[in-house]
Amino acid sequence: MRQGTTPVPAPRSAPALSSTRLASAQIIGTTIEWYDFFIYGTASALVFNHVFFPELPPLIGTLLSLATFGAGFLARPLGAVLFGHLGDRAGRKRTLVLTLLLMGGATVAVGLLPSYAAIGFTAPLLLLLLRIVQGMAVGGEWGGAALIGIEHAAPRRKTLFGAFAQLGSPLGLILATLVFLAVTAGSDAWLHSWGWRVPFLASVLLIPIGLAIRTKIHESPDFTAAHKSPESARRIPVVAVLRQDWKRVLVGVGAFAGVFVTYYLLTTFTLVYATGTLGMSTSITLPANLVAAISEGVFVLVGASLAPRFSARKIAATSAVGLLVWAWPAFALVGTRNATLLYVGVAVSMAFVGAGYGVLAAEISLLFRPEVRYTGASLTYGIAGSIGGIAPSVSTYLLDRSGSTTPVAVLTAVVALGMTAACLALPHRSEDGPAHGVPGTEASISIP
């Protein structure tokens, strides 16, 4: 160094996040988001037909109630494009904070909505609008929650940290179900007037917790490196994904769709079928969601823990075959009206769902280059979620037309078959390091 010159300090890199803080940011944040999302699904199956569609026949009211539930899923791809753009251009952390606030605000607003009796058709229209906002928020939230863990983790731990983001789904379902079990313990009159609002308004207590955790994390190294590229500033992420990565999107949608269709049929549709058609009480059917969530959560971790030994691709494909084989027995057990058999049918189905869901977060996310990864992963997840979200409405219609769950089981099996093919098309990614493939990606797909 020449005398008289001032040394230029080396750029400081962000301190490494502890595994505990990183996992907490993923699990707690996504749990709050999914709690908000799932209380709507439970309310649409049990309450909203009475509160927002009381002038219609019960079946039509239930179908419309489930249609508003499905609208949130149709809004997911839009949220994926909007928030994926922000996540790839402005950062994962900022986008995660924004989606949390958007979801929480929409959820609390649902709890404050006047009923149909108070303001007429304006009530279900506002309900639909808020559900669309919820769907957009989830469409942008999942990609950030998954990537903030996957992109910080070492190669051998990427599947595990992707699975941490997936744990928010079963934990959110457990929390939502417990709250609804509490509010349904009262009279139907109280439930239909004020009781159903309690789970939605309770979200105002959860938002600060999620914010406190997510504001303490920092950007992932993959985003930081990609953001320095001059090309990234000129790229429109969704355009780049649809032009260059559409095959990856198709494979990812196929892999996730089987998980989502089974998931929502075994939670939302089963509530409608068991209570409305079979006449089972909510004291029996709501605990089925607890069984589903526990089974899913356990096997999310089981699948992720087995991935380094057997490969995530094989575990995802095995879970898809399991869903295919189990499709008819699951609904047959529900149809017995026996609580124990209902729980068995749900538990086995959700074990297959959990194993595939847990490993697919990393497998699908790492199909995309860091510069467009938030958009690519979110769009894939959002489209697959849209397919799963409309499944309860379609299945309720099929049940009404046929008087049997056989068409529903066939629908589940067909989607599971597609999932099997998509999982087998996934590239092999070594858990000990990045897979060899297209430059700028961690995996490649060879699809004609």
pLDDT (tens digit per residue) in 76-87? 999 999 999 999
Q: Is-contact 260 387, C-beta < 8 A?
A: yes
Q: Is-contact 43 31, C-beta < 8 A?
A: no
Tokens of 108: 């609390």
List the domains of the chain with CATH numbers.
Answer: 19-425 (1.20.1250.20)
Our measurement of the distance from residue 250's CA atom to the centroid of its chain's CA atoms, rounded to an integer in Å, reads 18
DSSP 236: -
First-to-last alpha carbon distance for the chain, in angstroms, is 58
Tokens of 122: 């304006």
Closest CA to 422 of 269, 258, 201: 258
Cα separations in angstroms, 56 against 9, 53, 174, 271:
71, 6, 31, 20
| Whole-angstrom distance, CA of residue 87 vs CA of residue 439 | 22
Q: How many other CB atoms are there within 10 angstroms of residue 298's CB atom?
A: 17
Closest CA to 193 of 58, 61, 40, 54: 54
Our measurement of the distance from residue 373's CA atom to the centroid of its chain's CA atoms, rounded to an integer in Å, reads 17
**7's torsion region: left (phi>0), alpha (psi -120 to 50) or beta?**
beta
Q: Is-contact 140 80, C-beta < 8 A?
A: yes
Q: How many Cα neighbours within 13 Å face the side chain of 190?
A: 9
By CB atoms closer than 10 A (0-12, 13-18, 19+), residue 106 is: buried
Give pLDDT tens digits along the chain (448 positions): 444 444 434 334 444 556 777 788 888 888 888 888 888 878 887 888 888 888 777 777 777 877 787 788 889 999 999 999 999 988 888 898 899 899 999 999 999 999 888 998 898 899 999 999 988 998 998 998 899 889 988 888 899 999 999 999 899 989 988 998 888 887 888 888 888 999 999 988 888 888 888 888 888 888 888 877 666 656 789 999 999 999 999 999 999 999 999 888 887 788 788 888 888 888 888 888 899 999 999 999 999 999 988 899 999 999 999 999 999 999 999 989 999 999 999 999 999 999 999 999 999 999 999 999 999 999 999 999 889 888 888 888 898 888 888 999 999 999 999 999 999 999 876 654 444 333 344 444 444 3
- DSSP code per residue over 193-227: IIITHHHHHTHHHHHHHHHHHHTT----HHHHHHH
Angle at 237 between CA 231 and CA 242, to 5 degrees: 120
| Whole-angstrom distance, CA of residue 168 vs CA of residue 173 | 8
Closest CA to 146 of 90, 106, 87: 87
